[in-house]
């Protein structure tokens, strides 16, 4: 599973690297084969990546929070003071993109306020995501995904 996760990490890096020309599917597979990965590992990694949206959708349909369906979570003064502005935007982006659910958001915010740090940025938030999100694949992807700050030319986190 470790090698499969390394393939996923490599693919994410490749896709997000806008300094290079995009590779086609066969080119990516050839690159991974040259790097020493076998066809079964590559297939497992691609299966995990392409099943992720369905897994997230299935999970979100299982848990229903009627009181939260038409509401919007507002950070408490303590949460706003603890999370830097970019971390707040990143976290709201994850919720808006349905990459974390409301229960996970509450768990994450609980961890944020419990941390013995004066300010929590995106790197610390990703560490917390890795601890809070129980789904192994989502946890890995959310805690290791490259992030662009507002000072980068991209200026966005999740589309």
- Which tokens is 11 given? 């693919």
Distance (Å, whole) CA 53 – CA 32 = 23
Who's near 95: CB < 8 A, 6+ residues apart?
73, 101, 102, 105
What pairs with residue 83 in β-bridges?
A: 120
Q: Please tell me the predicted confidence (pLDDT) of residue 13.
A: 79
Hunting for tokens 């003071």 — which residue is that? 81
What pLDDT is stored for residue 98 in this prediction? 84
Closest residue by Cα to residue 146 from 157, 137, 136, 138: 157
Q: Model-level pTM?
A: 0.52
Judge whether 137 and 116 are in contact, CB under 8 Å.
Answer: no
Radius of gyration over every alpha carbon of the chain, rounded to an integer in angstroms = 17
pLDDT at 78: 92
Q: What's the angle, vertex CA 24, arms to CA 140 and CA 146, rounded to 5?
A: 30
Digits of tens for pLDDT over the chain (159 positions)?
788 888 888 888 777 776 777 778 888 889 899 999 999 998 888 888 777 767 666 655 555 555 555 567 789 999 999 999 999 988 988 888 888 888 899 999 999 999 888 999 999 999 999 889 888 888 888 888 777 655 544 444 443
Q: 142: which residues sit within 8 A by CB, 6+ positions away?
A: 94, 99, 100, 126, 129, 130, 133
């Amino acid at each position: 599973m470790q090698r499969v996760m390394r393939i996923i990490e490599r693919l994410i890096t490749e896709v997000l690297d806008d300094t290079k020309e995009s590779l086609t599917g066969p080119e990516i597979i050839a690159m991974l084969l040259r790097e020493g990965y076998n066809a079964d590992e590559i297939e497992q990694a691609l299966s995990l990546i392409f099943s992720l949206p369905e897994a997230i959708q299935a999970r979100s349909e299982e848990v229903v929070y009627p009181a939260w369906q038409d509401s919007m979570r507002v950070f408490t003064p303590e949460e706003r003071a603890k999370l830097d502005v970019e971390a707040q935007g990143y976290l709201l982006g994850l919720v808006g993109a349905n990459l974390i659910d409301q229960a996970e958001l509450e768990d994450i915010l609980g961890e944020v306020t419990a941390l013995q740090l004066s300010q929590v940025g995106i790197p610390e938030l990703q560490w917390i995501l890795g601890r809070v999100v129980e789904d192994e694949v989502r946890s890995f992807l959310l805690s290791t995904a490259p992030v662009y700050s507002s000072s980068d030319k991209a200026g966005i986190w999740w589309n």
